[in-house]
Structure 1
Amino acid sequence: MTQQDVEMAARHGTGADGAGFYPQPRNGAGGETLDDDGKKKRTGTVWTASAHIITAVIGSGVLSLAWSTAQLGWVVGPLTLMIFALITYYTSSLLADCYRSGDQLTGKRNYTYMDAVAAYLGRWQVLSCGVFQYVNLVGTAVGYTITASISAAAVHKANCFHNKGHAADCSTYDTMYMVVFGIVQIFFSQLPNFSDLSWLSIVAAIMSFSYSSIAVGLSLARTISGRSGTTTLTGTEIGVDVDSAQKVWLALQALGNIAFAYSYSMILIEIQDTVKSPPAENKTMKKATLMGVTTTTAFYMLAGCLGYSAFGNAAPGNILTGFGFYEPYWLIDFANVCIVVHLVGAYQVFSQPIFAALETAAAKRWPNARFVTREHPLVAGRFHVNLLRLTWRTAFVVVSTVLAIVLPFFNDILGFLGAIGFWPLTVYYPVEMYIRQRRIQKYTSRWVALQLLSFLCFLVSLASAVASIEGVTESLKHYVPFKTKS
């Protein structure tokens, strides 16, 4: 076998006999198996990646889909869900190909979304990408804190109504629940990285299926019982439910909520970095994306359509708060507990890229600083504490919790996060990297089609962001800090 044959085999992923050719793993100083980049051998599979995706996607966004469908109606609502699903799957597949620069088996790994942008688009676009990504990640942490507190308060209300009667005043302040959620996150934030979160993501994914199924089941039961609300082809009616200006603002905000419900592209590269090879990581990630998006879209269609059927144009912002917290109260309790448990995991999935960014930068800047690099063993060496990780991650959780307490606006916050994150992170950067990677010439039919897709998504994101800001402005007019009740 000549040197030329070896090089050709390496490029095409085959050996001299046509068998699979892959970089051979190495052993570290401690005997552990290392990957081709010298890091600990990755063990993620299509199932763990799918669990991470489902944990990230089926979050608080699913709870607002009935409300979103009510703003858009029977025609535009389900159609919008399907369109966003197709766009998310397509652009996520483009993004999965950007994990490695060059050959998909032997090329240089891009460990983060920003690494991929830097590799394909250059450093000038890295700054804007970082702003969009990390603002959205921080915002998601804030949004999940708000949602978890609402669900925790819902458990209190359900038990209160059951014990004291439906006429009792069972409202409770959300602040206490936000603080408790924050304390729990301080503990879980000490898990070093995504690889250590696999079990938490699997538990969270099970929880998301559970409460989504309960919401769908209760909506179906309400519809069958004949207590469903008034529905129309165009959603909320002008002059009956809303005025003309509100119709426009709320419809645009609904688009933002749906975009948020599908947001996970910002952490796709980080999830892909947990996947083992062979096969090539992009192949595994595309399968995981298909499984994740298909599964979540099925749940979203059921939650949105059955929720709208159950409540009609008066659908609540959070579907699980619309059943009156009456009987069966234990089922409402269980659903809301599932939401809280799920959001504990989802919060970590979205926060890990933020944690890793600062800690990686600090390790490069001060490689010999014990505060930055030293791991202190605890519990007979089974758990390790790093002082930088302890202080920085605790500070992050505290700040996100305070922001949630100060801005507890569920639908408005979800719509805004979806709007500012969807176009740049889910569409623009993946499309631009794909064009650069495949060397697609300007003004060709494929180039025009990709740019048109990006431009239309930009218009939707811009309109949704403006509508969400208008919603927050209206909410602030009647808002008293630290006095929000559920």
Structure 2
Amino acid sequence: MGENGAAKGYQQAAFATMDVSLEHGNGGGGKCYDDDGRPKRTGTLWTASAHIVTAVIGSGVLSLAWAIGQLGWVAGPIVMLLFSFVTYYTSTLLADCYRSGDPVTGKRNYNYMDAVHAYLGEFAASPPPRRQLYFTLLISSHVTGGVKVNLCGLIQYTNLFGVAIGYTIASSISMMAIRRSDCFHEKGHKNPCHASSTPYMIIFGIVEIFISQIPDFDQIWWLSIVAAVMSFTYSSIGLSLGVVQVVQNRGFKGSLTGISVGAVSPMKKVWHSLQAFGDIAFAYSFSNVLIEIQDTIRAPPPSEAKVMKKASLVSIITTTLFYMLCGCMGYAAFGDNAPSNLLTGFGFYDPFWLLDVANAAIVIHLVGAYQVFCQPLFAFFEKLASARWPESSFITREISLPLGYKLSLFRVVWRTAFVMLTTLISMLMPFFNDVVGLLGSLGFWPLTVYFPVEMYIVQKRIPRWSTQWVCLQTLSMACLVISVAAAIGSVAGIVTDLEVYRPFKSES
């Protein structure tokens, strides 16, 4: 496909959902269809909250004890609370962008890119010059709407791809931890109990190949509920084990400023502190799928934005409470020796069966979380292919199966290839903590802060250089600085890991 063809297909895919009413032969409304002609949405406050909890309380919670250990008792909890406040505030801005114009009857924006297009400008008629794709132009007020939309898509879907890799790594670590926990129980804690993560990544990938065939985001609500229950299960176990360890220690460990220089080199202290910011940012990442989650909520009244804001508030309060308890109790239990993954770092050894339950819950949760993050990416590229090759029977044909399921050969091939690719990359780079920090730092500013702020400014017609405009831009720039610093720290960690790592031969 040439450059012009690619640009045309890219635009067609982004706007394909706008003509959905024509596909149904329904102008909107009615008993079976919403105002846009799509089948009626059935999502509620609780299903939306389940999706968010599944997206937010992920593997990131397990690295928070380590993150607080790098920052200390003062900065660690403060940074966590700041991230929770910023995430909730910008999620309310983003929720208002689901509809353009009237919050109840305005045109729906089905995904993040549709919202950015609606508020920040038209797509470029042709691919933008390469020099315009530099990251620094994103913060320039002179960047065209088309470039912003294309950059939004690039960042969002790259981030979702990275999350799939991160979750594959995290699931394999938990599966490997179950094996090692049983080994320690049988042979003693002094036995190294080596295990490779590669077979477990393959197992996780095979499971995801099958589950990825679920066609649409709104059909995985049950998977999100199961995953949300699992997230509370392993978070509660981690919290309980931390409390027990603190009781056994007869006091809290840790210090006000975190791990001290001397225990680590000054440079490593800096890198690890920056990486801790990325880990905390990753633990609050869900804005990249917020619009897609909101598109599952049933039509007003009340408006989808009001329901989404309540769901965001409930979810973030719940997750922040768990984060504070798990992170702080983990640090209190182990102090500066807090492991990078609370339930797989083997600060805890007994009871081994409880650790097995916790790690099994992590794996089940990550199976669902993988889908929450990947379904928007699947949908985008399938619409891109349909718009580019509308006459291809391989892409458009669906085979009806029992129970109302429709099998698409293209969906089978493309989604299988995607899972295989993320699994292969995970095998090449199984560094949980560093990958988590890098994903958090790269995705937090543009998707959680920059675009919601910019769309809100356009939506409310906030004058440039007004007090509100300056405050919003200051928030955005402050988060940019934090994201860049966290990315630098995580890259430094990955470089250090690569110096001693041999692909496909990692052992723990």
TM exceeding 0.5: yes
- Structure 1 counterpart of 2:442: 420
Separation in structure 2 between the aligned mates of residue 252 and residue 163 of structure 1, nearest angstrom = 39
- Structure 1 counterpart of 2:208: 185
Query: Is residue 249–residue 467 contact of structure 1 (8 Å, CA) maintained in 2?
Result: yes
Give the counterpart letter for 1:82 in structure 2.
Answer: L
Query: Is residue 210–residue 335 contact of structure 1 (8 Å, CA) maintained in 2?
Result: yes
Query: Is residue 229–residue 313 contact of structure 1 (8 Å, CA) maintained in 2?
Result: no
SS in 1 for 2:103: coil
Query: Is residue 68–residue 331 contact of structure 2 (8 Å, CA) maintained in 1?
Result: yes
Separation in structure 2 between the aligned mates of residue 475 and residue 66 of structure 1, nearest angstrom = 21
- Structure 2 counterpart of 1:126: 149
1:159-238 → structure 2 map (5 Å cutoff): 159-226=182-249, 230-238=253-261
Deviation string 1:204-249 (CA, Å, 9 cap, x unpaired) is 000000000000000010001117774110000011x211111111
Give the counterpart letter for 1:253 in structure 2.
Answer: Q
Do structure 1's residue 249 and structure 2's residue 248 form an aligned pair? no
- Structure 2 counterpart of 1:25: 29
Q: 1:457 aligns with which of 457, 461, 479?
A: 479
Query: Which structure 1 residue ranges, 5 or more long, are not aligned?
Result: 1-22, 28-32
1:138-177 → structure 2 map (5 Å cutoff): 138-177=161-200
Q: 1:404 aligns with which of 416, 419, 426?
A: 426
Deviation string 1:323-367 (CA, Å, 9 cap, x unpaired) is 455321100000000000000000000001110001112222333
- Structure 1 counterpart of 2:6: none
Give the counterpart letter for 1:61 in structure 2.
Answer: G
Q: 2:496 aligns with which of 456, 462, 474?
A: 474
Deviation string 1:59-97 (CA, Å, 9 cap, x unpaired) is 010000000000000000000010000000000000000
Query: Is residue 158–residue 325 contact of structure 1 (8 Å, CA) maintained in 2?
Result: no
Give the counterpart letter for 1:76 in structure 2.
Answer: A
Give the counterpart letter for 2:162 in structure 1.
Answer: G
Query: Is residue 70–residue 312 contact of structure 1 (8 Å, CA) maintained in 2?
Result: yes
Deviation at 1:165, TM superposition (A): 2.1
1:34-113 → structure 2 map (5 Å cutoff): 34-113=33-112
Separation in structure 2 between the aligned mates of residue 242 and residue 227 of structure 1, nearest angstrom = 26
Deviation at 1:382, TM superposition (A): 3.6
Give the counterpart letter for 2:433 in structure 1.
Answer: N
- Structure 1 counterpart of 2:454: 432
Separation in structure 1 between the aligned mates of residue 347 and residue 453 of structure 2, nearest angstrom = 45
Query: Which structure 2 residue ranges, 5 or more long, are not aligned?
Result: 1-26, 122-145
Separation in structure 2 between the aligned mates of residue 129 and residue 209 of structure 1, nearest angstrom = 32
Q: Which has the higher mean CA deviation after the structures are superposed, 228-237 or 335-344?
A: 228-237
Separation in structure 2 between the aligned mates of residue 110 and residue 138 of structure 1, nearest angstrom = 22
Query: Is residue 229–residue 314 contact of structure 1 (8 Å, CA) maintained in 2?
Result: no
Give the counterpart letter for 2:501 in structure 1.
Answer: Y
Separation in structure 2 between the aligned mates of residue 275 and residue 370 of structure 1, nearest angstrom = 32
Deviation at 1:124, TM superposition (A): 2.2
Query: Is residue 428–residue 454 contact of structure 1 (8 Å, CA) maintained in 2?
Result: yes
Query: Is residue 278–residue 483 contact of structure 2 (8 Å, CA) maintained in 1?
Result: yes
SS in 2 for 1:435: helix
Do structure 1's residue 447 and structure 2's residue 496 form an aligned pair? no
Taking a change above 3 Å as real, the CA distance of residues 324 and 76 of structure 1, as seen in their structure-2 partners, is closer
- Structure 1 counterpart of 2:394: 371
Q: Which has the higher mean CA deviation after the structures are superposed, 353-362 or 70-79?
A: 353-362
Deviation at 1:166, TM superposition (A): 2.1
Of all paired residues, the percent bearing the same amino acid is 57
Query: Paired residues, what number?
Result: 457
- Structure 2 counterpart of 1:12: none
Separation in structure 1 between the aligned mates of residue 116 and residue 97 of structure 2, nearest angstrom = 9
SS in 2 for 1:49: helix
Query: Is residue 228–residue 312 contact of structure 1 (8 Å, CA) maintained in 2?
Result: no
Separation in structure 1 between the aligned mates of residue 64 and residue 101 of structure 2, nearest angstrom = 40
Deviation at 1:162, TM superposition (A): 1.2
Separation in structure 2 between the aligned mates of residue 109 and residue 362 of structure 1, nearest angstrom = 22
SS in 2 for 1:161: helix
Separation in structure 1 between the aligned mates of residue 286 and residue 179 of structure 2, nearest angstrom = 31
Deviation string 1:150-204 (CA, Å, 9 cap, x unpaired) is 0000110111111222222312000000000000000000001111100000000
Please report the TM-score for the alignment, with normalisation by the length of structure 2. 0.88
Deviation at 1:25, TM superposition (A): 2.3
Please report the TM-score for the alignment, with normalisation by the length of structure 1. 0.92
Separation in structure 2 between the aligned mates of residue 79 and residue 268 of structure 1, nearest angstrom = 25
Separation in structure 2 between the aligned mates of residue 454 and residue 181 of structure 1, nearest angstrom = 37
Deviation at 1:372, TM superposition (A): 1.7
Deviation string 1:121-168 (CA, Å, 9 cap, x unpaired) is 122211111111111100000000000000000110111111222222
SS in 1 for 2:260: coil
